[in-house]
Amino acid sequence: MRMTVRIAVAGASGYAGGELLRLLLGHPDIEIGALTANSSAGDRLLKHQPHLLPLADRQLQDTTVENLKGHDVVFLALPHGHSAALAEQLGDDTVVIDCGADHRLTSADDWKRWYGGEHAGTWPYGLPELPSQRDRLVGARRVAVPGCYPTVSSLALAPAVDLIEDEVVIVAVSGTSGAGKSLKANLLGSEVMGSASAYGVGGAHRHTPEITQNLSAAAGRPIKVSFTPVLAPMSRGILATCSAQLKNGANVREAYEKAYADEPFVHLLPEGFWPTTNAVLGSNAVQLQVTVDEDLGRLVVVAAVDNLAKGTAGAAVQCMNLALGLPETTGLSTVGVAP
């Protein structure tokens, strides 16, 4: 006999919310409860998530504590700044999985600088593949799901932190769904198709301190991160190209093989194969490959992830599994949808 976990999703009209529901519809232990939204409350879900036919007739409710309480797990896919108050009122009976940024950063100063306002505190960080993170997630009542760029960047470089100098350079090409459904002119299809563009250049993207935090924690020393995101004409996927100067004598491949040998979702490709984002579309896998530029003595790692899946909603489900004591991979897959 299986336990049934009753869940709610706040922000069910957005891309992260939709992907959460897509994955949860395939999770054997889940019963989908309240679906809430802000301006879309009152709409039926079909209007916003036409691909989720089994939930087409569900009505979106307002995002209130009243609508969210009474569930075993509440997923928050909200703009930053909204989770702390909700979580407090939901109480510890409810597991809260926050896809937003509010509780990712450990430093209140970093929070203040990058997001502004008071820091709401730090929750267990939902990237179990990082050193010592998994244990903190087992049985957790609160989880901060990582940002999509920090997920792929941190997993791409964490195994190498002892082998490299202190500065890393990351250029990550991303699909547009990472920007959500916000109605901005530069996100219109006519602008996006056929075009690549960088944004948040010069260390201005808010995921920079999160990557820095992860890599510095893994290294046990400050790592400096040069991070540039690039928007490409695709809906999903991030391809991160990460490089750093190697110290002498590093056996890079061995370090990655060791780090990810037992990880179900992080997959070091055999030599000669390189990641592509469509190979991980819709899946919870991270595919990566490593090499050394021998002329420069520089490590180069390329990693692919689906920003909405392992980059957000898949990680959220993975963390829910850990929090509830379910097998970590339940309802998740390493099989992508390609071509």
Q: Which of 36, 63, 153, 176 binds a copy of itself (CB under 8 A)?
A: 176
Per-residue x/- mask for a copy of itself, residues 125 to 164, rule CB under 8 A? Answer: ----------------------------------------
Per-residue x/- mask for a copy of itself, residues 13 to 32, rule CB under 8 A? Answer: --x--x---x--xx------
> Amino acid identity of 19?
E
Which CB, 249 or 272, lies closer to a copy of itself?
A: 272
Q: Which of 177, 213, 312, 321 binds a copy of itself (CB under 8 A)?
A: 177
Q: How far apart are CA 222 and CA 216, in angstroms?
A: 5
Residue 323 C-beta: closest distance to a copy of itself, Å = 24
Pull the structure tokens for residue 313.
């909603």
Residue 143 C-beta: closest distance to a copy of itself, Å = 24
Work out whether 68 is an interface residue with a copy of itself (CB under 8 A).
no
Q: How far is CA 112 from CA 100, 102, 119, in A?
A: 16, 11, 7
- Per CB under 8 A, which of residues 29..58 are in contact with a copy of itself? 46-47, 49-54
- Binding segment for a copy of itself (CB under 8 A), chosen from 30-38, 126-134, 213-221, 278-286, is 278-286
Q: How far apart are CA 318 and CA 285, in angstroms?
A: 11
Which CB, 108 or 338, lies closer to a copy of itself?
A: 338
Nearest to 108 by CA among 124, 123, 120, 125: 120
- Per CB under 8 A, which of residues 221..260 are in contact with a copy of itself? 224-226, 228, 230, 232-237, 239, 241, 243, 245
**Cβ atoms of 175 and 277 closer than 8 Å:** yes
Catalytic annotation present for 319: no
Which CB, 51 or 221, lies closer to a copy of itself?
A: 51
Those residues with Cβ within 8 angstroms of residue 329's Cβ, 6 or more apart along the chain or in another chain: 264, 265, 284, 318, 321
The H-or-E segment that residue 225 falls in is strand 224-231
Q: How far apart are CA 174 and CA 230, in angstroms?
A: 6
Sign of the Cα torsion 40, 46, 50, 52 reads positive
Which CB, 46 or 65, lies closer to a copy of itself?
A: 46
Active site (catalytic) residues: 148
